[in-house]
Amino acid sequence: MKILVVEDEENIRKVIKKMLEINKFEVLEACDGAEAMDIFYSEKIDLVVLDWMIPKISGIEVLKRIRLESNLPILMLTAKSEEDDEVEGLEVGANDYLKKPFSLKILITRVKKLLNLIGKRKTYGILDLDINNHRVYIEEKDINLSPKEFELLNYLILNSGIALNREKILSDVWDLAFDGDYRTVDTHIKTLRKKISAEYISTVRGVGYKFEVVKR
Protein backbone atom coordinates (compact mmCIF):
# COMPACT_ATOMS: atom_id res chain seq x y z
CA MET A 1 0.00 0.00 0.00
CA LYS A 2 1.15 3.52 -0.79
CA ILE A 3 1.37 6.14 1.97
CA LEU A 4 1.97 9.87 1.54
CA VAL A 5 3.93 11.47 4.40
CA VAL A 6 3.49 15.26 4.54
CA GLU A 7 5.97 16.82 6.98
CA ASP A 8 8.17 19.90 6.56
CA GLU A 9 10.80 18.77 9.10
CA GLU A 10 13.07 16.55 7.04
CA ASN A 11 14.46 14.54 9.96
CA ILE A 12 10.99 13.60 11.19
CA ARG A 13 9.81 12.84 7.65
CA LYS A 14 12.76 10.54 6.95
CA VAL A 15 12.36 8.65 10.23
CA ILE A 16 8.64 8.09 9.55
CA LYS A 17 9.42 6.98 6.01
CA LYS A 18 12.05 4.49 7.16
CA MET A 19 9.73 3.00 9.78
CA LEU A 20 6.89 2.64 7.27
CA GLU A 21 9.19 1.02 4.73
CA ILE A 22 10.40 -1.46 7.35
CA ASN A 23 6.72 -2.40 7.69
CA LYS A 24 6.47 -3.03 3.93
CA PHE A 25 4.68 0.17 2.92
CA GLU A 26 5.58 2.21 -0.15
CA VAL A 27 6.18 5.83 0.89
CA LEU A 28 5.90 9.13 -0.97
CA GLU A 29 7.09 12.38 0.64
CA ALA A 30 5.92 15.99 0.58
CA CYS A 31 7.50 18.88 2.48
CA ASP A 32 4.61 21.34 2.06
CA GLY A 33 0.89 21.44 1.34
CA ALA A 34 1.21 22.38 -2.31
CA GLU A 35 3.47 19.40 -3.02
CA ALA A 36 1.08 17.17 -1.07
CA MET A 37 -1.86 18.17 -3.28
CA ASP A 38 0.21 17.64 -6.44
CA ILE A 39 1.02 14.10 -5.31
CA PHE A 40 -2.60 13.45 -4.28
CA TYR A 41 -3.78 14.30 -7.79
CA SER A 42 -1.01 12.42 -9.60
CA GLU A 43 -0.65 9.23 -7.52
CA LYS A 44 -2.95 6.55 -6.19
CA ILE A 45 -2.62 7.00 -2.41
CA ASP A 46 -3.98 4.61 0.24
CA LEU A 47 -3.35 6.78 3.32
CA VAL A 48 -1.94 10.21 4.25
CA VAL A 49 0.17 10.99 7.31
CA LEU A 50 -0.36 14.75 7.46
CA ASP A 51 1.37 17.33 9.66
CA TRP A 52 -0.77 20.31 10.67
CA MET A 53 1.90 23.02 10.54
CA ILE A 54 3.34 22.92 7.01
CA PRO A 55 4.25 25.70 4.53
CA LYS A 56 2.32 27.00 1.49
CA ILE A 57 -0.96 25.22 2.27
CA SER A 58 -1.65 24.30 5.88
CA GLY A 59 -2.31 20.72 6.89
CA ILE A 60 -5.91 21.48 7.88
CA GLU A 61 -6.51 23.10 4.46
CA VAL A 62 -4.97 20.08 2.70
CA LEU A 63 -7.32 17.89 4.74
CA LYS A 64 -10.33 19.98 3.69
CA ARG A 65 -9.36 19.82 0.00
CA ILE A 66 -8.80 16.07 0.03
CA ARG A 67 -12.13 15.53 1.77
CA LEU A 68 -13.91 17.27 -1.10
CA GLU A 69 -12.81 14.41 -3.35
CA SER A 70 -11.85 11.38 -1.29
CA ASN A 71 -12.51 9.45 1.92
CA LEU A 72 -9.02 7.95 2.04
CA PRO A 73 -7.67 7.53 5.61
CA ILE A 74 -5.83 10.56 7.01
CA LEU A 75 -3.73 10.55 10.19
CA MET A 76 -3.00 14.07 11.43
CA LEU A 77 0.29 14.88 13.20
CA THR A 78 0.57 18.02 15.24
CA ALA A 79 2.52 19.85 17.91
CA LYS A 80 -0.71 21.64 18.87
CA SER A 81 -1.90 20.61 22.32
CA GLU A 82 -5.25 22.39 22.59
CA GLU A 83 -8.31 20.14 22.66
CA ASP A 84 -10.15 22.49 20.30
CA ASP A 85 -7.49 21.93 17.64
CA GLU A 86 -7.95 18.17 17.88
CA VAL A 87 -11.71 18.55 17.65
CA GLU A 88 -11.34 20.80 14.59
CA GLY A 89 -9.15 18.25 12.80
CA LEU A 90 -11.57 15.40 13.51
CA GLU A 91 -14.60 17.46 12.53
CA VAL A 92 -13.04 18.45 9.21
CA GLY A 93 -12.42 14.79 8.40
CA ALA A 94 -9.25 13.43 9.98
CA ASN A 95 -9.57 9.73 10.85
CA ASP A 96 -7.05 9.89 13.68
CA TYR A 97 -4.86 12.41 15.48
CA LEU A 98 -1.35 11.97 16.91
CA LYS A 99 0.39 14.62 19.02
CA LYS A 100 4.12 15.28 18.82
CA PRO A 101 6.34 13.88 20.19
CA PHE A 102 4.96 10.42 19.41
CA SER A 103 6.12 6.82 19.48
CA LEU A 104 6.91 5.34 16.07
CA LYS A 105 5.38 2.06 17.21
CA ILE A 106 2.15 3.87 18.02
CA LEU A 107 2.27 5.58 14.62
CA ILE A 108 2.60 2.23 12.81
CA THR A 109 -0.22 0.72 14.89
CA ARG A 110 -2.50 3.65 14.04
CA VAL A 111 -1.62 3.42 10.34
CA LYS A 112 -2.34 -0.31 10.24
CA LYS A 113 -5.60 0.17 12.07
CA LEU A 114 -6.72 2.82 9.60
CA LEU A 115 -5.86 0.55 6.71
CA ASN A 116 -7.72 -2.32 8.34
CA LEU A 117 -4.65 -4.53 8.21
CA ILE A 118 -5.01 -5.64 11.81
CA GLY A 119 -8.50 -7.12 11.38
CA LYS A 120 -9.38 -9.49 8.56
CA ARG A 121 -12.47 -7.76 7.25
CA LYS A 122 -14.01 -4.38 6.60
CA THR A 123 -17.79 -4.35 6.97
CA TYR A 124 -20.16 -2.09 5.03
CA GLY A 125 -23.75 -2.87 5.90
CA ILE A 126 -24.30 -6.47 4.74
CA LEU A 127 -21.12 -6.50 2.63
CA ASP A 128 -17.79 -7.72 4.03
CA LEU A 129 -14.43 -7.12 2.36
CA ASP A 130 -11.54 -9.44 3.24
CA ILE A 131 -8.58 -7.29 2.18
CA ASN A 132 -5.85 -9.81 2.92
CA ASN A 133 -7.44 -12.59 0.85
CA HIS A 134 -9.21 -10.45 -1.77
CA ARG A 135 -12.61 -11.97 -0.98
CA VAL A 136 -16.06 -10.37 -0.83
CA TYR A 137 -19.01 -11.67 1.19
CA ILE A 138 -22.64 -10.60 1.21
CA GLU A 139 -24.52 -11.98 4.20
CA GLU A 140 -21.67 -14.54 4.48
CA LYS A 141 -22.10 -15.66 0.86
CA ASP A 142 -18.75 -15.70 -0.97
CA ILE A 143 -18.94 -13.52 -4.11
CA ASN A 144 -16.47 -14.41 -6.86
CA LEU A 145 -14.77 -11.25 -8.18
CA SER A 146 -11.86 -10.90 -10.58
CA PRO A 147 -8.77 -9.09 -9.20
CA LYS A 148 -9.68 -5.91 -11.09
CA GLU A 149 -13.31 -6.08 -9.95
CA PHE A 150 -12.12 -6.40 -6.35
CA GLU A 151 -9.75 -3.45 -6.78
CA LEU A 152 -12.53 -1.35 -8.31
CA LEU A 153 -14.96 -2.25 -5.51
CA ASN A 154 -12.39 -1.44 -2.81
CA TYR A 155 -11.66 1.89 -4.51
CA LEU A 156 -15.37 2.79 -4.66
CA ILE A 157 -15.78 1.83 -0.99
CA LEU A 158 -12.79 3.94 0.10
CA ASN A 159 -14.56 6.85 -1.59
CA SER A 160 -17.99 5.86 -0.28
CA GLY A 161 -20.64 8.55 -0.73
CA ILE A 162 -18.54 10.52 -3.21
CA ALA A 163 -19.57 10.84 -6.87
CA LEU A 164 -16.54 9.78 -8.92
CA ASN A 165 -16.20 10.60 -12.58
CA ARG A 166 -15.07 7.96 -15.06
CA GLU A 167 -11.82 9.76 -15.83
CA LYS A 168 -10.68 9.64 -12.19
CA ILE A 169 -11.72 5.98 -11.82
CA LEU A 170 -9.82 5.07 -15.00
CA SER A 171 -6.74 6.93 -13.79
CA ASP A 172 -6.75 5.61 -10.21
CA VAL A 173 -7.80 1.99 -10.76
CA TRP A 174 -6.28 1.27 -14.17
CA ASP A 175 -3.47 3.87 -14.11
CA LEU A 176 -4.61 4.95 -17.55
CA ALA A 177 -4.85 8.46 -18.96
CA PHE A 178 -8.22 9.48 -20.42
CA ASP A 179 -8.39 8.62 -24.12
CA GLY A 180 -12.06 9.37 -24.75
CA ASP A 181 -13.25 5.80 -24.11
CA TYR A 182 -14.93 5.06 -20.79
CA ARG A 183 -16.17 1.60 -21.79
CA THR A 184 -13.60 -0.13 -19.56
CA VAL A 185 -15.06 1.56 -16.48
CA ASP A 186 -18.69 1.11 -17.57
CA THR A 187 -18.21 -2.58 -18.37
CA HIS A 188 -16.60 -3.36 -15.03
CA ILE A 189 -19.26 -1.38 -13.14
CA LYS A 190 -21.95 -3.36 -14.99
CA THR A 191 -20.46 -6.75 -14.08
CA LEU A 192 -19.78 -5.62 -10.51
CA ARG A 193 -23.40 -4.58 -10.09
CA LYS A 194 -24.57 -7.99 -11.27
CA LYS A 195 -22.36 -9.76 -8.74
CA ILE A 196 -22.90 -7.64 -5.61
CA SER A 197 -26.32 -6.08 -6.41
CA ALA A 198 -26.91 -2.87 -8.35
CA GLU A 199 -28.19 -1.01 -5.29
CA TYR A 200 -24.62 -0.59 -3.96
CA ILE A 201 -23.40 1.43 -6.93
CA SER A 202 -25.55 4.29 -8.14
CA THR A 203 -25.17 6.29 -11.33
CA VAL A 204 -24.80 10.03 -10.77
CA ARG A 205 -26.10 11.69 -13.91
CA GLY A 206 -23.53 13.89 -15.61
CA VAL A 207 -20.78 12.75 -13.22
CA GLY A 208 -20.16 9.02 -12.89
CA TYR A 209 -20.68 6.50 -10.09
CA LYS A 210 -21.05 6.43 -6.31
CA PHE A 211 -20.89 3.60 -3.76
CA GLU A 212 -23.50 3.64 -1.00
CA VAL A 213 -23.78 1.28 1.96
CA VAL A 214 -26.80 -1.03 1.91
CA LYS A 215 -28.30 -1.99 5.26
CA ARG A 216 -30.95 -4.66 5.76
Which pLDDT value is given to residue 111? 93
Q: The domain containing residue 196 runs over which residues?
A: 121-211
> How confident is the model over 28-32, as a mean pLDDT?
97
8 Å CB contact between 92 and 84: no
pLDDT confidence bin for 179, thresholds 50/70/90: low
Is residue 152 domain-resident? yes
52 and 95 housed in the same domain: yes
**How many structural domains comprise the chain?**
2
Is residue 216 domain-resident? no
93 and 40 housed in the same domain: yes
Is residue 13 domain-resident? yes
109 and 179 housed in the same domain: no
Question: Rounded CA gap, 31 and 135, in Å?
Answer: 37
Maximum distance among all alpha carbons in the chain? 50
Last residue of a domain, one of 114, 149, 181: 114
Is residue 203 domain-resident? yes
pLDDT confidence bin for 15, thresholds 50/70/90: very high
108 and 127 housed in the same domain: no
Does the reported pTM lie above 0.75?
no
Last residue of a domain, one of 114, 130, 148: 114
Is residue 172 domain-resident? yes
